[in-house]
Amino acid sequence: MVIIGPTAVGKTEISIQLAESLGGEIVSADSRLFYRGMDIGTAKPTLSERQRVLHHLIDIVNPDQTLSLPQFQEKASAAIADIHTRGRLPFLVGGTGQYIRAVIQGWDPPRIPPHPGLRQALEGWADEIGKDALHARLRSLDLAAADQIDPRNLRRTVRALEVIFTSGRSFSQQRLRSLSPYNTLLLGLIRPREELYARIDSRLEEMLKLGFVAEVQSLLDRGYSPNLPALSAIGYPQIIAFLQGDINIDEAASQIKRLTRTFVRRQANWFKAQDPEIYWFEAAPGTGDQIKKMIIARFTEQ
């Protein structure tokens, strides 16, 4: 089972409900949930929620470590195999489209090793012209890759350019696919746009009440650099700017809300409403029961 949908749509609640009632376990495909100590700002499932249903691939690296796409694929495949071995039902859940697609479509990402000198040069170029301008350069070379990479994600922009300049081929063409080993049921959750935006705003207010600012301060106090890729996740740079006295908390909150709305629109690029492989459900009371009936019916047919 694969459950997808934009940020704040309600994936956590519904996936836990389904996994709990169907004897399942959850494999997280949200790149923000990998990092230890980044709990509030990533809306990570709470400890009590994780006690209800076993979750995999949460809190697996420190903020100063990286987890590449191939590494994620290996870990996700191992978790899914382990769940199957124990007679449980795996639920791959997340809003990071690249990670979901990589697993269920059997991607074989470029195996070109890092080129430290070129990477340093590209990062220096970004310092000179800015992230957006570097992303525009990528767009001029590989439109398909640029459409799938957030301009704020400098690490991914640099990696794409690194692969292009090293290999002489577009980055997007090198993301080969093999036959998927899984028989997947792809379930998508949606909400009316204004309702989703209201949930985003409400969730941020709750994060601030729960201690989002203190969480970020704790990460900085532990010596983690504010320039780490992990701390580029929406919310963290804005709270860091507040802690450094560059903006006030209202400005930080406003920026986070605006950027999250933009992110939601970008998430839609990975999973189109007209995609015939996705069964879409509007997230609302009773949606979990509807999906459960569908899953049971599918198993009955097989």
Tokens in use for 188?
């998508």
Single residue among 146, 174, 202 that ends a domain in this structure:
174
Give CA separation, 237 vs 45, 123, 176, in Å: 22, 18, 34
How much is the pLDDT for 175?
Answer: 61
Single residue among 150, 174, 198 that ends a domain in this structure:
174
- The domain spanning residue 43 has which CATH number? 3.40.50.300
How much is the pLDDT for 95?
Answer: 86
Q: What is the pLDDT of residues 142-199, one digit of tens each?
A: 988 888 788 888 888 998 899 899 888 888 766 656 666 788 999 999 999 999 999 9
How much is the pLDDT for 157?
Answer: 92
How much is the pLDDT for 179?
Answer: 63
Question: Same structural domain for residues 84 and 184?
Answer: yes
- The domain spanning residue 151 has which CATH number? 1.10.20.140
Single residue among 174, 199, 216 that ends a domain in this structure:
174
Domain span holding position 156: 116-174
Question: Same structural domain for residues 232 and 218?
Answer: yes
Question: Same structural domain for residues 79 and 150?
Answer: no
The b-or-e profile of 212-245 (16+ CB within 10 A means b, else e) is bbebbeebbeeebebebbbbbbbbbbbbbbbbee
How much is the pLDDT for 191?
Answer: 94
Single out the residue of 243, 198, 195 nearest to residue 218, CA to CA: 243
Q: How many domains, in total, are found in the chain?
A: 2
Question: Same structural domain for residues 194 and 289?
Answer: yes
Question: Same structural domain for residues 170 and 245?
Answer: no
The single-letter code of the amino acid at 227 is N
Question: Same structural domain for residues 217 and 144?
Answer: no
Question: Same structural domain for residues 97 and 219?
Answer: yes
Question: Same structural domain for residues 230 and 151?
Answer: no
Low-confidence ranges of the chain (pLDDT < 50): none
How much is the pLDDT for 67?
Answer: 86
The pTM of the full predicted model, rounded to 2 decimals, is 0.81
Question: Same structural domain for residues 167 and 199?
Answer: no
Question: Same structural domain for residues 50 and 160?
Answer: no
In this structure, what DSSP letter does residue 155 have? H
Q: What is the spatial distance between Cα 120 and Cα 23, in angstroms, rounded to a whole number? A: 48
How much is the pLDDT for 272?
Answer: 83
Question: Same structural domain for residues 99 and 226?
Answer: yes
Question: Same structural domain for residues 39 and 71?
Answer: yes
How much is the pLDDT for 301?
Answer: 67
How much is the pLDDT for 174?
Answer: 63
